[in-house]
């Protein structure tokens, strides 16, 4: 059973063919890693799934529903949550205010997230709920971005380089959070460059290079395949 199915997805920036026949799946409660070097196409894949980069071919389906060509807000309402690399929090709003911005009505069959439930998953946010988001650390802002996205009650979460620039202790907290969210039944597609992070949370991996999927399989198989890692991931 899959919740997110991406089939032969293509995308262009002008005449540049930036995604070529990208296919992947995510099941409920599964963390799937999308790995690759800088510029390989990881962020573009997530943006194409969200409709932020209009696909020029292929299909994006959520629970069997075809979302290809829909506007980003329609895709979000259908149940795909996107956590961008640059966070995009509202710095003048408090933590509680940022969460209210993301609130969506409950949807049958999906986990319903409330501020109190999120504060149980992100205790630091509970302690800072009245603090303006602009006065938070980078790690706290990253947690807030994830929490705000969850207020939309998604069934799939797209995480774009969530550990970028974070201190190791914050990365450890984020790893625990990702595992916790998956245990709630949330499907997660994680764009990541850091192999130890991907290894800690993901069961399967897709490796992208120059806009094409070059390798796919279990995370354990990738860690055992020195040649594949050297060919597609080594800097």
Could you report the per-residue pLDDT of 28-48, keeping only the tens digit for each? 999 999 999 999 999 999 999
Phi, psi of 157 (to 5 degrees): -120, 125
Return the residue matching tokens 């099941």: 27
Average pLDDT, stretch 204-220? 97
Task: Please write the tens of the pLDDT for every residue from 77-112.
Answer: 999 999 998 878 999 999 999 999 999 988 888 889
The pLDDT assigned to 85 comes to 86
Specify the CATH number for the domain of residue 78. Answer: 3.40.50.300
**Residue 5's pLDDT band (boundaries 50, 70, 90)?**
very high
Average pLDDT, stretch 5-28? 96
CA angle 231, 204, 208 (to 5 degrees): 40
The pLDDT assigned to 8 comes to 98
The pLDDT assigned to 6 comes to 98
The pLDDT assigned to 123 comes to 92
How many folded domains does the chain comprise?
1
Q: pLDDT averaged over the chain?
A: 94
pTM: 0.95
Q: Which of 158, 102, 167, 115 is nearest to 139 (CA)?
A: 167
Owning domain of residue 155: 4-232
**Residue 159's pLDDT band (boundaries 50, 70, 90)?**
very high
The pLDDT assigned to 59 comes to 98
CB 141 within 8 A of CB 149: no
Percentages helix, strand, coil for the chain (3-state, rounded to 5) are 35, 30, 35
Helix or strand holding residue 71 (H, E): none
């Amino acid at each position: 059973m899959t919740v997110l199915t991406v089939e032969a997805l293509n995308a262009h920036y002008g005449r540049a063919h930036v995604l070529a026949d990208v296919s992947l799946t995510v099941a409920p409660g599964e963390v799937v890693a999308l790995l690759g070097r800088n510029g390989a196409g990881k962020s573009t894949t997530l943006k194409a799934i969200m409709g932020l980069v209009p696909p020029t071919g292929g299909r994006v389906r959520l629970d069997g529903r075809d979302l290809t060509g829909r506007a980003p807000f329609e895709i979000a309402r259908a149940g795909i949550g996107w956590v961008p690399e640059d966070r995009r929090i509202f710095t003048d709003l408090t933590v509680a205010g940022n969460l209210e911005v993301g609130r969506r009505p409950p949807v049958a069959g999906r986990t319903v997230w409330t501020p109190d439930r999120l504060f149980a998953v992100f205790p630091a946010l509970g302690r800072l709920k009245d603090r303006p988001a602009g006065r938070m650390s980078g790690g706290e802002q990253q947690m807030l971005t994830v929490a705000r996205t969850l207020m939309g009650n998604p069934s799939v979460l797209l995480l774009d380089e969530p550990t970028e620039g974070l201190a190791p202790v914050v990365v450890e907290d984020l790893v625990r959070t990702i595992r916790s969210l998956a245990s709630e039944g949330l499907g997660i597609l994680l764009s990541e460059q850091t192999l130890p992070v991907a290894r800690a949370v993901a069961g399967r991996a897709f490796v992208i290079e120059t806009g094409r999927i070059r390798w796919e399989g279990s995370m354990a198989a990738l860690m055992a395949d020195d040649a594949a890692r050297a060919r597609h991931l080594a800097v």
